[in-house]
A and B are shown apart, each in its own frame.
Chain A
Amino acid sequence: MPKTLTLSLSAAALCIAAAPAMAQDCPIKVGVLHSLSGTMAISETTLKDTMEMLVEQQNGAGGVLGCELEAVVVDPASDWPLFAEKARELLTVHEVDVIFGNWTSVSRKSVLPVIEELNGLLFYPVQYEGEESSKNVFYTGAAPNQQAIPATDYFLEELEVEKFALLGTDYVYPRTTNNILESYLQQNGIAEEDIFVNYTPFGHSDWSKIVADVVALGADGKKVGVISTINGDANVGFYKELAAAGISADDIPVVAFSVGEEELSGLDTTNLVGHLAAWNYFQSADTEANEGWIAAWKERMGAERVTNDPMEAHYIGFNMWVNAVTDAGSTDVDAVRTAMYGQEFPNLTGGTAVMLPNHHLAKPVLIGEIQEDGQFDIISQTEEVPGDAWTDFLPESAVLVSDWAELGCGMYNTETSTCVQIKSNY
């Protein structure tokens, strides 16, 4: 007991010495809510390491508001309900000021009620299906209009694809995304019978029939393209079967939304050269900021490690949060939230990310071709695209907007001019 007393006394003294005007508790705690065990561990551990590196770098640069930052790491073990428990622990026991975490949509949905009840602040770094906007979450990954729609446009305009195969794993992200895409394609004059949709289970391995079906689509002389929302290791079998069938990317291009540098490290990419992926970041982006970032990462983690899109999302999210805290002069959630709107921070790929009042970022969309070394060659980069929480391509979502700055509502119906609901338990 006396020890804690001395500690908190000395901490208080430090704070007073450092920033007498501000009543800031030191150190500022940053919660890291990423799975370190279970299925999602390999993806999420990378993000935990990213957060630790960012916190260290910030401390090296003098911390925030004169305080040291401290990363509080917990392990929700790829167990969705445990995410909610651990989020509550971070907010009530460790009393963190902000949380960076989650990967799968289902884990995010599990954390939402806790974070809204306790008025926490969560930065979510992964591309997702949209149709959500919580007051307490900043979505730094891509919404569908920042990944799926531009990639589809690229297929339509640059590759002149006339028939689409939408292949996905059977769960919420691919189904929602494909619904949006189907509706979008039909609005762009692609007939319903020219869209082939298929869902497969997680870890599916028997792809010969599906690949044959896709090839058969081309029999009427139209150019076929595949939009893949296949997730996880099922991709391995899919690409192997494509290669065995001798399908080159010039004949039937495949654009994937869930395959990045990390996933390609598990594959022999010689047969995949030329197939595409759409992200907001690729390791091969040729900018000085990116070179520094990669060098720092490799120095910390080892030369063979790669960087990827969710890492950049955390990089932007964390730096924006630091700036917002500095602007607000406190770590109070509501003050920081208000200060977040309009925050700008340079992307690693060039250009500037802007935080919008709907809690999404404006970011450029990149399309890359897979190369033999498992990296992507960026062949198309758009201007910054503002993230859209509610898609414009589904009739029931088209009328909804999210605007926490002016309207104070994440699900605002523009037709009836009413706020449908404040909590995000939809």
Chain B
Amino acid sequence: MFARIVRALAAAIVSLSAGTATAQDSEAPIQLLLQDHGEIIAKSSRRTIGPAIDALATSGLPEAQNVLERWQAKEMWLNKETGLFVFAEEIDRSTIRVFDFADGSEIGAVPDDDWKQLKPNSGIRGLIGAALVQFQLSDPDPANRATALDAIERDAEESHLAALRASIDGETDPAILARKTRIERLLTIEFGETDQERVAAIEEFQGDLGVDLRAVLSRMVTTRAEVALDAPERDDIARLVEPGSDALDRDSAYALLVAADLAAPQITRDEKRDALVANIQDGEVAGVEVATLDTEAARDLAYAALAEAGVVEPVAAETAVAEALDSHVFYERYVGAPAAVAIAAQLALDGIEARLALNQAADLLLDALSLASIYFLAAIGLAITFGVMGVINMAHGEFIMMGAYTGYVVQLFVPDYTLSIMIALPLAFAVTFGAGVAMERLVIRWLYHRPLETLLATFGISIALQQLAKNIFGTQARPLTSPGWLDGSLVFNDVVSISYIRIAIFVLALLFLALFLFVMNRTRLGLEVRAVTQNPRMAASMGINPDRINMLTFGFGSGIAGIAGVAIGLYAKVTSEMGQDYIVQSFMTVVVGGVGNIWGTLLGASLVGLLQKGIEWFNPSNTLAAQTYMILFIILFIQFRPRGIIALRGRAAEA
């Protein structure tokens, strides 16, 4: 009870102090300006907000910049009773500290119940940003200058060109200077004063593929379909179009004629029928017996009679439509820019088109390579356990998952992302190596040369491991965050780019290829593995312990799967089911490539990756269909090359 009284008292005092303060600032010019537009500011819709932002930007008041910036940052508040605007910072969920716009002085801490926070949506924030450009272009803080450039790129206005040109000379930061110069050229294309200036700017961009450039050029070559009796002698005609072609269908062509008052409107058969039915009198329509209206021509005549009588609007019959379309010329006229600029822009766009296709192919190739490296990384462990040892391990995907969860757990304890990945990679190897060895000792070694039983047993283990992961970590995806230096992408141009994380996975895949080759060809373990897989009995009689070798090989394959898991978790997600996504592709990669040969696995991964991306390119609207077609293709491929791309020959093949 006491606490409540104190709170009420405090609120009263605060509102009192706020009251006196707001009385002071309500006459300040900036406040008056805001009050003028108070209604639309409070309504906060992009459609109506324009005048308020313009008024602030052109007011010349020194506080305007501060108001716009606070507003954009969602720091402007509105008093529900007095309608006065302030800026405020939140102290906690229900208290705010308010400041006066007029002189920036603190008014006091108040409960937020009487205040409404203005939350401009990103559309409005863009407009505010565009208005702020004039203040920010020469701001001492480079970050603010960059923000201004972002704003110009999003909502370019004619006034920006002069402001930008004025700010280029004083620019000291080379990166920002480069951006300013580029944007100045783009703005010149759009808003330059003379045609020569604009054409020159277009020509300067020779060889550029930027999305921003293409956006500007596309706006320049906007056309509008128009119609005339004869082909007009003008230089801004883009091309003549034939009604009924893709560019202009017959209905829209006729609509143009109607709009230009060159023909009467047309109605559909149903509408005509309805009009006739509505005018039936004593079994007749405009003097024609209803029974005779059994052909389209008869109905046209009856309708024409009705039109003559003034009962309905006159319309064109279908034959008249064809005639009208034939006797007029349809053309597209440049409306986005003067003819000279539009033609130059069209030329530039045509030039871009050709190079664009090439670059898109290059980008697709990069994507395909990246996907191939991911599949390769996922499959390389399987290439060992399945390819070399011949064990069908359905739980391979779950080893990938285990590796990924290891990475997640490490990040829980080591907050530094770079360090945590450094720890996670070997730890994931160790964990899955251990799991692989345990599985080999407990289950698989009893089932060698019984593939069906191995398949069933490992499939069961995979389900058990998934449920275990669900019980421990839950089914919600867990974050595995890559270090900051892997954020972003390597950008060649606006079309060709690839994210750094994918490059890292690519490098990792190459490293493991090298590691695999080294272990198999250059170490004693590799020698013994090859000996045991070729002929276990002979190897045993040479003093090699096949049991131990099998155990280590299986562990090695599983360990690599764990590392693949960390990599995959970094670019996608960590869930208990992530292994399922890769097990089919991994087996496919190994089988297509040719069992028992690492180069085959590499080729298999490349084939599967390229194929998947190629099909996606043909059918961009359904990625699932792309995967289905790919699997169909692989089934066909296996029919013709059952041993894969690189088939083992000789003694190794029989082992």
Contact = CB atoms under 8 A, between A and B. Distances in A.
B105 interface: no
B122 A201 contact: no
A104 interface: no
B123 A205 contact: no
B121 A380 contact: yes
Given A250-B154, A268-B479, A377-B119, 20 more contacts: A39-B475, A154-B121, A159-B121, A198-B621, A198-B622, A200-B623, A205-B573, A209-B613, A209-B617, A210-B623, A212-B363, A219-B215, A220-B215, A221-B215, A233-B477, A236-B573, A245-B489, A246-B488, A268-B481, A271-B487
B581 A203 contact: yes
A369 B120 CA distance: 11
A120 B617 CA distance: 50
Interface stretch (A50-58, A68-76, A259-267, A342-350): A259-267
A362 B188 CA distance: 51
B46 A157 contact: yes
A236 B572 contact: yes
Nearest to A266: B477
21 contacts: A41-B470, A41-B474, A157-B46, A158-B121, A160-B123, A203-B575, A209-B617, A212-B367, A213-B620, A219-B218, A220-B214, A233-B476, A237-B572, A241-B499, A244-B500, A246-B489, A250-B122, A250-B125, A286-B93, A379-B120, A380-B121
Contacts of A205: 568, 571-573, 578, 581
Contacts of B214: 219-221
Nearest to A40: B475
Interface in B106-125: 112, 119-125
A198 B122 contact: no
B498 interface: yes
A197 interface: yes
A253 B46 CA distance: 15
Nearest to A246: B488
B418 interface: no
A244 B474 contact: no
Given A196-B621, A198-B623, A42 B476 contact: yes
Interface in A316-344: none
10 nearest A-B pairs in the assembled complex, by CB-CB distance: A221-B215, A205-B572, A236-B573, A244-B499, A233-B477, A266-B477, A220-B218, A237-B572, A200-B623, A42-B475
Interface in A39-66: 39-42
A41 B120 CA distance: 37
B367 A209 contact: yes
Contacts of B476: 42, 233, 262-263, 265-266
B535 to A, nearest CB: 41
Interface in A235-287: 235-237, 240-241, 243-246, 249-251, 253, 262-263, 265-268, 271, 274, 286
B624 A199 contact: yes
Contacts of A245: 489, 497, 499
Interface residues of A, number: 64
B499 A266 contact: no
A245 B124 CA distance: 24
A255 to B, nearest CB: 11
Nearest to A217: B211
A240 B367 contact: no
A378 B119 contact: yes
A218 B215 contact: yes
Contacts of B47: 157-158
Contact of B123 (A40, A159, A234, A271): A159
Interface of B: 45-47, 74, 93, 112, 119-126, 150, 154, 211, 214-216, 218-219, 360, 363-364, 367, 370-371, 374, 470, 474-479, 481, 487-489, 495, 497-502, 568, 571-573, 575, 577-578, 580-581, 613, 616-617, 620-624, 627
Contacts of B154: 250-251
A206 B77 CA distance: 43
Contacts of A159: 46, 121-123
B621 A253 contact: no
A160 to B, nearest CB: 6
A143 B112 CA distance: 34
A208 interface: yes
Interface string A369-408: 1000000011110000000000000000000000000000
B499 A208 contact: yes
A210 B624 CA distance: 12
Nearest to B570: A240
A79 interface: no
Nearest to A218: B211
A42 B474 contact: yes
Contact of B624 (A42, A200, A206): A200
A204 interface: yes
Most chain B beta-carbon neighbours within 10 Å: one of A210, A235, A246, A263: A246
A170 interface: yes
A215 B494 CA distance: 9
B364 A209 contact: yes
Contacts of B216: 221
Nearest to B370: A208
Given A158-B46, A199-B622, A215-B211, A236 B477 contact: yes
Contacts of B487: 243-244, 271
Nearest to A276: B122
A209 B106 CA distance: 52
A41 B478 CA distance: 15
A350 B332 CA distance: 53
Contacts of A240: 571-573
A284 to B, nearest CB: 10
A264 to B, nearest CB: 10
A42 B477 CA distance: 10
Contact of B119 (A38, A203, A216, A379): A379
Nearest to A199: B622
A197 B578 contact: no
A266 B474 CA distance: 11
Interface string A414-425: 000000000000
A237 B573 contact: yes
B46 A244 contact: no
Contacts of A249: 122
Contacts of B577: 39, 203, 233
Nearest to A236: B573
A390 B477 CA distance: 34
B572 to A, nearest CB: 3
B211 A244 contact: no
A346 to B, nearest CB: 17
Nearest to A249: B122
B545 to A, nearest CB: 41
